[in-house]
């Protein structure tokens, strides 16, 4: 299995860019997640996720340099993340994986991370 800190080496910035762009293309039309994202900052949200993932999986630390510690729970607390939102996020990311066509080993590592973090970020009851 691919080590977490080797994912960036395996897919590079371009792989993360494909995955995150494919994910964010789905957000504006989504009835659950769409309302959580300010339309005027969709590009910013996409950049933040891309930079976070690049940093988290062994790439340059742009996210940390610009935003400091990720503090994921604190940053997501204003948004109503319940089990339905978690499941939809994972579903849209599943769609994005199909489009991004990343190497299997990298996808496995990222899927495991996303499933764990999406559950961790639940902050409301359904």
Phi, psi of 102 (to 5 degrees): -80, 160
Q: Can you read off the two tokens belonging to residue 34?
A: 């769409």
Q: How far is the C-alpha of 100 from the C-alpha of 45, rounded, in Å?
A: 18
98, 21 contact by CB (below 8 A): no
- Whole-number pLDDT of residue 66: 95
Which pLDDT value is given to residue 126?
Answer: 81
Tell me the pLDDT tens digit for each residue of 55-67: 999 999 999 999 9
Per CATH, the number for 4-120 is: 1.10.490.10
User: Could you give phi then psi for residue 11, rounded to 5 degrees?
Assistant: -120, -15
What is the reported pLDDT for 108?
98
Residue 54: predicted pLDDT:
98
Q: Which residues of the chain have pLDDT under 70?
A: none
């Amino acid at each position: 299995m691919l080590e977490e800190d080797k994912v960036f080496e395996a897919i590079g910035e371009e792989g993360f860019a494909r995955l995150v762009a494919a994910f964010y293309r789905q957000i504006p039309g989504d009835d659950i997640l769409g309302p959580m994202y300010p339309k005027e900052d969709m590009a910013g949200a996409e950049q933040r996720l891309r930079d976070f993932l690049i940093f988290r999986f062994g790439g340059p630390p742009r996210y940390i340099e610009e935003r400091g510690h990720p503090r994921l729970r604190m940053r997501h607390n204003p948004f109503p993340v319940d089990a339905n939102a978690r499941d939809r996020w994972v579903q849209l990311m599943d769609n994005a994986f199909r489009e991004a066509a990343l190497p299997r080993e990298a996808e496995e590592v990222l899927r495991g991370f996303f499933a764990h973090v999406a559950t961790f970020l639940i902050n409301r009851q359904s």
